[in-house]
Amino acid sequence: MTVAFAGTAPLAAGVLERLAATRPIAYLLTRPDAPRGRGRRPGAPPAKLAAERLGIAVHQPERPDLPKPVDRVVVCAYGLYIPPRLLEQSLWLNVHPSLLPRWRGAAPVERAILAGDAETGVTIHETVAELDAGPIAAQEAFAIGDLDAGGVYERSAEVAARQLAEVLDDPVFTPQPEEGATYAEKIAPADRELDLSDPVDAWRRVRALSPHIGAWTTMHGRRVTVWRARLEGGAFVPEIVQPEGRRQMTYDEFLRGVR
């Protein structure tokens, strides 16, 4: 059984590291390096950095391609459309961090937290032409609780690695229902703005966009990104904030600077 991996984002790096501990990975298929940070210098995707640490060959084509045939391709947060001609060459198994058919699409973790879902999970399904609609090989739920998106992604990587160990060699598929399907649209600029008149929504929004995107509001006349917050007696309480152009700091530090 030969296995390749297609992934780009931090979730993909976490799954790749765990999967590589249990079986050989022929190569990683990931997106090209992209400009990052204030300097806009080219930076490697998280999955590439993980593969290089593990000694796994890395391929970064502009459009997906398989440098050599394999029996399985595990797909996780890859970010590029996989054409039917490639789906015909191997069995592609997608790691999707939601309880499909709920939250098909680009931002399932963020949308689940924003919607106030009590639980989410991981679904392993066959990659097909239609978005996240393939038959299911494994699915496992877990409670969201007070986790932020980073915590959900970390838990999802652990669950996905365990699921893949069970189904990768001989998956048995169940058709995915259309009933209950919802779509997780990409996070837009408007999704990042906090409405402090709705404390519950603001708290969910901070969690949904931390630690990778960031939700913002205006405090004491300054634009501030809120990276961590809590609900206390029904009130929204910032904990870690970042004034525009400044470093992250506690909310108390920010208030002392304002005074």
pLDDT tens per residue, range 8-20: 999 999 999 999 9
φ and ψ of 133, to 5 deg: -115, 5
What average pLDDT does this structure show over 131-147?
A: 97
pLDDT of res. 88: 95
Ramachandran area for residue 235 (φ above 0: left; ψ -120 to 50: alpha; else beta): beta
pLDDT of res. 257: 84
pLDDT of res. 37: 67
pLDDT-derived band at 75, boundaries 50, 70, 90:
very high
Among 8, 150, 139, residue whose Cα is nearest residue 74: 8
Instruction: For residue 210, give the DSSP letter.
Output: T
- Within 10 Å of residue 26's Cβ, how many Cβ atoms? 19
- CA 98 – CA 112 distance, rounded (Å): 8
Residue 195: partners with Cβ closer than 8 Å, 6 or more residues away: 201, 202
Structural domains present in the chain: 3-184 (3.40.50.170), 189-258 (3.10.25.10)
pLDDT over 70 (residue 38): no
For residue 202, what are its two tokens? 């603001």
pLDDT-derived band at 198, boundaries 50, 70, 90:
very high
Asked whether the beta carbons of 203 and 231 are under 8 A apart, the reply is yes
Give percent above pLDDT 70 in the chain: 98
pTM: 0.94
pLDDT-derived band at 40, boundaries 50, 70, 90:
confident
